Structure 1
Amino acid sequence: MDRRELADFLRTRRERITPADVGLPAGPRRRTPGLRREEVAHLAYISTEYYTRLEQARGPHPSREVLAQLTRALRLSDAERDHLHHLAGTPPSPPPGPSREVRQSIVDLLNRLPQAAAIVLSATYEVIAWNDLAAALMEDFSALPRRDRNLVRRRFLEPRRGGRWLSSVSDAGDFARSAVQHLRAASARYPDDPEMTGLVEELLAGSEEFARLWATHEVAVRPNLRKTFDHPVVGPVTVNCDVLDISDRDQRVIIYTVAPGSPSEEAFRLLSVVGTQRLDVPG
């Protein structure tokens, strides 16, 4: 436990929060920048004396419960929470499960890519965000229940209704291997998450192909940077694939773009117009 660094860190985090940030009145004669020590102690459900001793580098070793309460009271980010735990000599516990919350800035990014199809995948391969062109190219994810947005489950357990793109994309086999490798690595990061363990158990019981790939214990993922979708309305669409890692949330942004001047670019233009309309179905 680094008492001096912990004390300085708590003080600087306290001083950056205004009373209004936590719903407290500013009041007259406030000379302390940010919150007062007694206010932080109140928000963290600990005594003022105990918190004061922590800021004066003479406090006892705080428990995980106290650290969690301080994290909430001081509105720490995930990185700051981990730093607080390390300063206190108590390494942070792994998160209970993969995050499904997509930052607004990432959602805005997807919507500002009108000439690219883009989705966000959680660590369990669930599609948790997408833009309009991705829905037109792949599937209207908004029309699906959450369970059916999991690409691994759709690929291995429900191949017939796994979506036209999962069965007809040019790298279907590579996708299967890559997905299993990603999922095996993710399962090691979230060993206590019931949703993760339940998904793996469901896949092992329901798919011989998944069980065979899972048994290889491969976790080294070789990215496929190019693939072709066989779209029922606009025909073959060849795309370049780029992946952006959102490391703090264990998520990935998959961006599909087409070569300028190619037939696929014309297909993208048509898809941006027709959207998710089923023009292949007779009216």
Structure 2
Amino acid sequence: MPNRELARFLRDRRAALLPGDVGLPAGQRRRTPGLRREEVADLAHMSVDYLTRLEQARAPRPSVRVLEGLTGALRLDREGRARLYHLAGSPLLPVGPVRSVRPHVVRMLHRLPGTAALVTDATYDVVAWNPLADALHGGALAGGLNLARRRFLGGPRVSSGGAPEFGEIVVSRLRGSAARYPHDPRLGALLAQLRTSPEFTDIWDTEPFHAPGHRRKRFEHPVVGRLEVDCDVIALPEDDQQVVFITADPGSRSARALSSLAG
């Protein structure tokens, strides 16, 4: 069913913004007020065609990822974000990152023999894991581990084997989290810590964008030595969390090393 109210909301918000509101130069005189569709689509990391169809009430219900992109691109405040989600017919994410993990997700982690699996929240805190994931991380998960803090402020570096560098992936996700939860004190404290890293601030300023997916990783484990594994990420948009699955090629030395860690 066409969502004309959502279409009108998006058009009105785009028309209400000036280029300077989103850090763009004013440029030449504009025939119509507000931002161009191309500018909003670029800021929201979506295609112009899809934004056009949304504004013309011809598109299917937008995903949470699309809504969060529009929230940032249109500079919506908390009330505006709530209105956007309501018009799109989607449940509104909470004002702070969710740390609790749904029971069926936890059960799934423990039903994957030979796979190290963990869940991270929107701040990169590891909030659930299976025994192999804990063994792979040297038993550090039970004591609380934040993968972003480890990446930039200490801990082993991981070679991504040709995939986008993990630091850019981390910063991309944290930038999105900062836009969604601007008043969360725990996230604010984490970002303040991370900004003491020149590497983190340099990457942050480039505004990287990486969606969750697949990458190949190589690293040194203190017990079993060098490992080459596949890292696959699946988003849980209803809780703004990600499940990470770590596996090795069947029959490989890395697979045998993982098996030995599993005990």
- The answer on 1:197 being equivalent to 2:193 is no
Whether the 8 Å contact between 2:125 and 2:146 is mirrored in structure 1 is yes
Q: Measured at CA, do residues 107 and 208 of structure 1 come closer, stay the same or move farther in structure 2, by a change above 3 Å?
A: same
Q: Measured at CA, do residues 139 and 190 of structure 1 come closer, stay the same or move farther in structure 2, by a change above 3 Å?
A: same
Q: Measured at CA, do residues 222 and 106 of structure 1 come closer, stay the same or move farther in structure 2, by a change above 3 Å?
A: closer
For the residue of structure 1 that corresponds to 2:209, the secondary structure is coil
For 2:209, which of 219, 225, 239 is the aligned residue?
219
Deviation at 1:222, TM superposition (A): 7.2
- Which residue of structure 1 lines up, in the alignment, with residue 42 of structure 2? none
In 2, the alpha carbon distance for the partners of 1:215 and 1:244 equals 26
For 2:230, which of 229, 233, 240 is the aligned residue?
240
Amino acid at match of 1:109: M
For the residue of structure 1 that corresponds to 2:231, the secondary structure is strand
Unaligned runs of 5+ in 1: 1-81, 274-283
Query: Taking every aligned residue pair, what percent have the same amino acid on both sides?
Result: 44
In 1, the alpha carbon distance for the partners of 2:245 and 2:152 equals 23
- Which residue of structure 2 lines up, in the alignment, with residue 180 of structure 1? 171
Deviation at 1:225, TM superposition (A): 1.7
Which is higher, the Rg of structure 1 or of structure 2? 1
In 1, the alpha carbon distance for the partners of 2:86 and 2:198 equals 43
Whether the 8 Å contact between 2:212 and 2:235 is mirrored in structure 1 is no
Give the structure-1-normalised TM-score: 0.57
For the residue of structure 1 that corresponds to 2:182, the secondary structure is coil
Equivalences for residues 56-95 of structure 1 within 5 A: 86=86, 95=94
Amino acid at match of 2:86: H
In 2, the alpha carbon distance for the partners of 1:177 and 1:99 equals 23
- Which residue of structure 1 lines up, in the alignment, with residue 252 of structure 2? 262
CA RMSD of aligned residues (A): 2.8
- Which residue of structure 1 lines up, in the alignment, with residue 147 of structure 2? 151
Q: Deviations over 1:185-213 (max 9, x none)?
A: 11111112121122212221x11111111
Deviation at 1:224, TM superposition (A): 4.9
For the residue of structure 2 that corresponds to 1:141, the secondary structure is coil
Give the structure-2-normalised TM-score: 0.61
- Which residue of structure 1 lines up, in the alignment, with residue 4 of structure 2? none
Deviation at 1:221, TM superposition (A): 4.0
Whether the 8 Å contact between 1:184 and 1:219 is mirrored in structure 2 is no
For the residue of structure 2 that corresponds to 1:244, the secondary structure is strand
- Which residue of structure 2 lines up, in the alignment, with residue 170 of structure 1? 159
For the residue of structure 2 that corresponds to 1:268, the secondary structure is helix
Unaligned runs of 5+ in 2: 1-81
- Which residue of structure 1 lines up, in the alignment, with residue 73 of structure 2? none
- Which residue of structure 1 lines up, in the alignment, with residue 117 of structure 2? 118
Equivalences for residues 264-279 of structure 1 within 5 A: 264-273=254-263
More helix by share: 1
- The answer on 1:229 being equivalent to 2:219 is yes
